[in-house]
Amino acid sequence: MFGVVAAMGATGVAAASDRSIGHPVSLPDRTNFPLDHVYLNAAYAHPLGRMTYRTMEDFLQRRMQAVDTPWPVDNARDRAVALFAGLINADPADIAVVPSTMEGENLVVQALGLGPDAGVVTDAFHYSPEIYGELRRRGAPVFIALPRDNRIAQADIDRLIDAKTRLVAVSAVASDTGFRHDLKAVCDIAHAKGAMVYADIIQAAGAVPIDVKATGVDFACCGAYKWLMGDFGTAFLYVRPDRLKALHRTVVGWRQIATYQSRLYPFDPPGAPGVDYGLRDDAVGLFEVSTPSWGALAGLTASLAYIQGVGVERIVRHRAPLMAQLQAELPRHGFIPLTPKGSDTPAIAFAFGRAAERLGPALKAARIKIQTSRNRIRISPSVYNDQGDIERLIAVLRAAA
pLDDT tens digit sequence for 248-283: 999 999 999 999 999 999 999 998 999 999 999 999
> How far is residue 206's CA from residue 137's CA, in Å, rounded to a whole number?
35
Summary mean pLDDT of the chain: 93
pLDDT in tens, 133-174: 999 999 999 999 999 999 999 999 999 999 999 999 999 999
- Residue 271 in any domain: the answer is no
SS3 sequence, 64-95? HHCCCCCCCCCCCHHHHHHHHHHHHCCCHHHE
**pLDDT tens digits for range 201-256:** 999 999 999 999 999 999 999 999 999 999 999 999 999 999 999 999 999 999 99
Answer whether residue 47 shows pLDDT above 50.
yes
Nearest Cα residue to 359 out of 387, 324, 395 = 395
Decide if 7 contacts 73 (C-beta within 8 A): no
Asked if residue 372 has pLDDT above 50, the reply is yes
Where does the pLDDT of residue 313 fall: very low under 50, low under 70, confident under 90, or very high at 90 and above?
Answer: very high
pLDDT of residue 94: 98
327/319 Cα distance (integer angstroms): 12
For residues 215 and 88, the answer to whether their CB atoms sit within 8 Å is: no
Determine the structural domain holding residue 172 and report its residue range: 28-249+280-401
Q: What is the pLDDT of residues 83-130, one digit of tens each?
A: 999 999 999 999 999 999 999 999 999 999 999 999 999 999 999 889
For residue 308, pLDDT beyond 70: yes
Q: Please give the biggest Cα pair distance in the chain.
A: 81
pLDDT higher than threshold 50 for residue 24: yes
Helical segments of 234-372, H only? 283-287, 294-310, 312-329, 355-366
Which of the four pLDDT bands, split at 50, 70 and 90, describes residue 72? confident
Q: What is the pLDDT confidence band of residue 339, given thresholds at 50, 70 and 90?
A: very high
Is 9 inside any structural domain?
no
How many percent of the chain have pLDDT more than 90? 90
Least confident of 173-187, 263-277, 308-322: 263-277
Residue 92 sits in a domain whose CATH number is 3.40.640.10
Give me the pLDDT at residue 168, please: 98
Angle value at C-alpha 205, between 201 and 208, nearest 5 degrees: 110
SS3 of residue 377 by DSSP: strand
Is 22 a residue whose pLDDT tops 60?
no
pLDDT on residue 6:
28
Q: Which of 16-20, 55-59, 186-190, 279-283 shows the lowest mean pLDDT across its residues?
A: 16-20
The pLDDT value recorded for residue 48 is 98
Q: Is 358 helix (H, G, I), strand (E, B) or coil?
A: helix
Average pLDDT over every residue of 1-30: 49
- Determine, yes or no, domain membership for 99: yes
Is residue 11 in some structural domain? no
pLDDT at 41 over 90: yes
pLDDT computed for residue 23 by the predictor: 55
Domain assignment present for residue 20? The answer is no
Assess if residue 7 is contained within a domain: no
Number of domains in the chain: 1
Measured CA to CA in angstroms, residue 190 lies from 23, 183, 302, 332, 382 at distances of 41, 11, 36, 40, 33
The confidence score (pLDDT) of residue 20 equals 44
pLDDT at 29 over 80: yes
- Quick check: 32 pLDDT over 80? yes
Task: Decide if 268 is inside a domain.
Answer: no
* Cβ–Cβ under 8 Å, residues 287 and 237: yes
- Model pLDDT, residue 17: 37
Answer whether residue 65 is part of any domain: yes
Q: Determine the pLDDT at residue 18.
A: 39
**Cα distance between residue 121 and residue 164, in whole Å:** 10
